[in-house]
Amino acid sequence: MNFVGQFPAYRPRRLRQSAALRRLVSETQLNAAQLVLPLFVRSGRKVRRPIQAMPGVFQLSPDEILREATRAHHLGVPAVLLFGIPDKKDAKASGAYAAKGIVQEAVRLLKKELPQLLVITDVCLCEYMEHGHCGIVQQSRSGAKILNDPTLRLLARTAASHVEAGADMVAPSDMMDGRVRAIRGQLDADGFAETPIMSYAAKFASAFYGPFREVAESTPKFGDRRSYQMDAGNAEEALREVALDIQEGADIVMVKPALAYLDILYRVKTEFGYPTAAYAVSAEHAMVKAAAANGWIDERAVTLESLLAMRRAGADIIITYAAMDAARWLKEG
Ligand code: PBG
């Protein structure tokens, strides 16, 4: 589009004369109803364990999760995304699909006490595996291998147990091939055909997940996640991953991380026109917090501008650790 010369009378400044006029012509809005707050649950009562690299983020016991979620709900944040930190880890991630697992317990409490809150659960095995990988590991002389297909059954079981406990939506983040189909099949078979899946569809192998692994206690004990997460340079592959998840039954697709991958977000939204989520991940949060603590940036302005940029790039939904702060700032105007 080249307006110059075509419309000689066009003067951009005319539309910037007042705040009311700027609002009338504003193309992108950010509001609390588009935000999702991630929460980390562990066993106990009155537990609020701070995380070194993520100021304001805690490992919380279920009673504290309820308090935090209630606060978010009152600020207009409609949804939370739950991650679990089990007491015990093993080689088959038993804690992930245990009926009395920590996520299942938190879901039951939240849905009982705060039924209007949308409860989304992260479906992955890494927090529950002793080795910290997202799938079943086979050790051999040539090294460790993640077994894709046997992992699918455990993921499907995990998702079904979350929904059984009352989860409104499941969000598989493992990046095994075929997991959305496996989960969809399991939920349908168990009578949960109406429960949607938000898939981490374009999830990159990213250094921006560093602080999260401290919170979730899910740092791989050996190797990395490059055999299942995507290379940072691959945009076409991201589109193929998203297409596949949609074919397999994903209702919402996610791009992760957010700020460094806005081009991916834009392409996913324009290519598929699906409800699209962006996950502003742990290091994105940590960087803002660190710079703000040093007085180098205006935390509120930088946060709101970043979230708005994600919306402009195509995000319908933004998962962010700053959800409550942003909701409060938006309310203050
Ligand atoms: C689990 C998972 C991760 C994140 C969300 N789900 C970590 C990873 O893949 O290592 C990262 C979120 C964040 O950094 O905030 N697979």
Residue 141 located in a structural domain: yes
Asked if residue 5 has pLDDT above 80, the reply is: no
Residue 312 located in a structural domain: yes
Residue 12 located in a structural domain: no
Enzyme catalytic residues = 203, 256
Write the residue with the smallest CA distance to atom 12 of ligand 1.
281
Asked if residue 224 has pLDDT above 90, the reply is: no
Pocket test for ligand 1, best of 209, 213, 215 (most atoms within 8 A of CB): 209
Asked if residue 47 has pLDDT above 80, the reply is: yes
**Number of structural domains the chain divides into:** 1
What mean pLDDT is reported for the chain?
95
CB 242 within 8 A of CB 268: yes
**What own/partner pairs with CB < 8 Å and gap ≥ 24 does 288-293 have?**
288/322, 289/54, 289/55, 289/56, 293/55
Confidence tier at 2 by pLDDT (50, 70, 90) = low
Residue 289 located in a structural domain: yes
pLDDT of residue 3: 61
**Helices marked H in 114-147:** none
Asked if residue 150 has pLDDT above 80, the reply is: yes
Residue 40 located in a structural domain: yes
Residue 291 located in a structural domain: yes
Confidence tier at 248 by pLDDT (50, 70, 90) = very high
Query: What is the residue range of 92's domain?
Result: 30-332
Give the residue-averaged pLDDT of 262-271: 98
pLDDT of residue 4: 61
Instruction: Please give the Cα distance from 105 to 90 (Å, whole number).
Output: 20
Residue 100 located in a structural domain: yes
Ligand 1 atom nearest to CA at 203: 9
Give the residue-averaged pLDDT of 88-96: 95
Instruction: Please give the Cα distance from 26 to 30 (Å, whole number).
Output: 11
Report the first-to-last Cα separation within the chain, whole angstroms.
Answer: 34
Ligand 1 atom nearest to CA at 83: 6
Domain CATH number, residue 75: 3.20.20.70
Residue 22 located in a structural domain: no
Give strand pairing partners of 255. Answer: 202, 278
